[in-house]
Amino acid sequence: MCIAVFVWQDHPLYPFLLLLNRDEYHNRPTKPISWWEGCKIMGGRDERAGGTWLACTREGKLAFLTNVLELNPVPEAKSRGDLPVRFLESSKSPLEFAEEVAEEADQYNGFNLILTDFCSKAMVYISNRPKGKPVSIEVVSPGIHVLSNARLDSPWHKAQRLGQNFKELLCKYGKDEVPVKEMVEQLMKDTVKADQNKLPRIRSLEWEFNTSSIFVEVDTSLGRYGTRSTAAVSAKESGEVSIFERYLEKEIWKEHSLKFEIEKAH
């Protein structure tokens, strides 16, 4: 269970501004966001499967991913975390890569994937759910969007709450620079849960209730599960990309910041 809120091509200072909570078992080996060795990719890394939930490149491409909440995922399905990596390693546009993924989308459990190219101002959303229906590929419109564990902008309690709070905070700062660390503190640590009558009722009520908040923390038979990290990514018109990440390491919260300039093709 993860959740992301972002504004795309609709802010005076930031063509793109993203806040993303990654939820996972605390005992799953994970590396925080960094430059990958011998590679042009910067992102977090799932050390078990080798993929990522959020990553970008110096050439101005970015991808992030959430899983779709479903009852019986297939254990032997391909790793969804490979999809952002493949996009960032390719020379394909967001739309071209989405069309490629659509041909093999049935080999994966449910996913939502956002593919972005800052240089061409292109953003595409692709999902292989609902099951049994054609793969959905959409060009993302300018504005504020929320992606949780259903389709883009689905009206889940946590998605609506985060979207509204994000919009209000952006309005508060207007044309000024947004303090992303403050946004993380105010928006992404929210533990308010949904009323039971507003749950999607796909899995058990207990599980859905415990994961219905923006920030998740729950004990399970497989160990502690919940929000492992929060990332804030901002891109300015100048080509400066800034990343702030707050993450768990051995049950201790740490934070760091990274910056780079997009290297535009000549």
In this prediction, residue 246 carries a pLDDT of: 98
In this prediction, residue 264 carries a pLDDT of: 79
Give the type of residue at 221.
Answer: S
In this prediction, residue 1 carries a pLDDT of: 74
In this prediction, residue 266 carries a pLDDT of: 52
Tell me the HSE value of 216 on the side-chain side, using a 13 A CA sphere. 28
Give the type of residue at 90.
Answer: S
In this prediction, residue 70 carries a pLDDT of: 94
In this prediction, residue 241 carries a pLDDT of: 98
**What is the block-wise mean pLDDT of the chain (266 residues), using blocks of 10 residues?**
95 97 96 94 95 97 97 94 98 98 97 98 97 94 98 97 98 93 96 95 95 97 96 97 97 97 80
Global pTM reads: 0.97
Q: Which domains does the chain have, with CATH numbers?
A: 3-261 (3.60.60.10)
